[in-house]
A and B are shown apart, each in its own frame.
Chain A
Amino acid sequence: MSTTPPNIDPRAAALFQTDGRLRRRRIVNRLMEALGTIASLAAVAVLVIVVASVVKNGWGAFSVEFFTTSPSLSGFGTAEGGILSSIVGSILLVVIATIFALPIGVLVAIFVSEVAPRKVADVIRLALDVINGLPTIVTGIFIFSVLVLAQGQSAIAGGLALAIIGLPLIARSAQEVLRLVPTSYREAGLALGAPRWRTILGVILPTSLGGILTGTTLAIARVAGETAPLLFTTSLAVTTSVTWDPTQPVQSMPLTIFQYAEQPDPSFHEQAWATGAVLLAFVLVVSLISKFLLARSRRKLTQ
């Protein structure tokens, strides 16, 4: 190894000479970084503020009874008990919505991405987008006119309305995952002499399961907090006790918030905030679960 300094070729040095532009670029870079950071902080700050205010305002109402007993009225007109009936009711509604939306959503996704000719698939996709954009109150009125007028309110009616809202979400994400499955799997299955549907059922679907679950959990997170569709379909519920009967209207957390907020007594307001906090927590947990599921399915597909 030589110890003499290397001969610097002047032409090479000239190539990399810095000019004023480098300094300006550096400034612009830093500026952009700063702006991006501020915007991100602002976004996170909004979330933090919302969560903080909800928790702060509802803090007083948290207790074991809050989660384990149904509402009742005290002699003074203050809120007593908790929101057990709402929690149970929300669970029931979400389950009913999933039972309807998940299979239909997956089947639609399979049809659109595997079977349908191009033009038909485009039309269906458009329809799904429109359903996605429907105002939820309109959906509620629709179910009201179709089901509630004849049969009265019920959890099923509410669940159906929620299912309509969740369907495009599930179908869209299922489609995305199905598209991600390599064509080579389909070819391999077919080349073995397996009929098309066996290949879809046995290879394509299991592979996309993770993504489908993700889409489902996202849809659940969305519909759990919908209020408008429930207004006409399951708002006249008995709130003081828990019902698992789907043919009857049930209480739900978003409706509880709505109704309690209109009460005169501040104890109800406090419970409304607390219910909001519970909903937020639910959304947070569900989002985390869906991220975990997505990461796992991605790992399996791309190993």
Chain B
Amino acid sequence: MRVTLQEDLDTLQASLLEEGELVLRALRGALNALREADAELADEVIAFDDEVDRRYLQVEQGIEALLARQTPVAVDLRLVLAMLHTNLHLERMADYCVTIAKLTKLVAGLEPEPRMIQAFEEMGARAEEMIRIALDAFVNRDVDEASSLVELDELIDRANRRVVRQVLELGPDPELSEWGLRMLLVSRCLERIGDHAVDIGEQVAYLVSGEFREFTDASHPVQGS
């Protein structure tokens, strides 16, 4: 029963996951461009954002139509709201990929520090993993999997803090300093992507339990870990 509602929900979720796949491709592209210092690839990543935006708009409009026409309640309503938020988080993540690509272009002529590049590759891989886990948890409505994102996010946060120290250690050379400053921003982008993945995980928890709750709260730090 309510065949149309179910079809609409399935279609929206499928669109959302496609958008997630696009975000992953954007991230991979941005990371590759950063590693290879490839300005052309960076341009393509920036242009690719239009795809993500298109998908984002599609999901937004789909949600508007679904709310107006099907008046979902209970778990259906929570699913729609969770998709609404997740849509936003995905779009923000894609924007951060664009920022990374833009920064890559800005440092095109400058000399990279290979160790830090390696660190970014690891941070990037972690971010990719988090996105995959978040979307997987969404599809499977798996709260445990979603809460595992917190630890992964902690790793990225630590990596981000290390980058700060490494940038400070780069020394007074102006070109290196400029490069380091830009890389600081790249690091921050990756850290924010991780945060958005955690947010998606929190949406999964809301979807399942109905509770609005953050996994960890900066003002209420979790002991240990």
A/B touching: CB–CB < 8 A? no
Give residues in B with beta carbon < 8 Å to A: none
Give residues in A with beta carbon < 8 Å to B: none
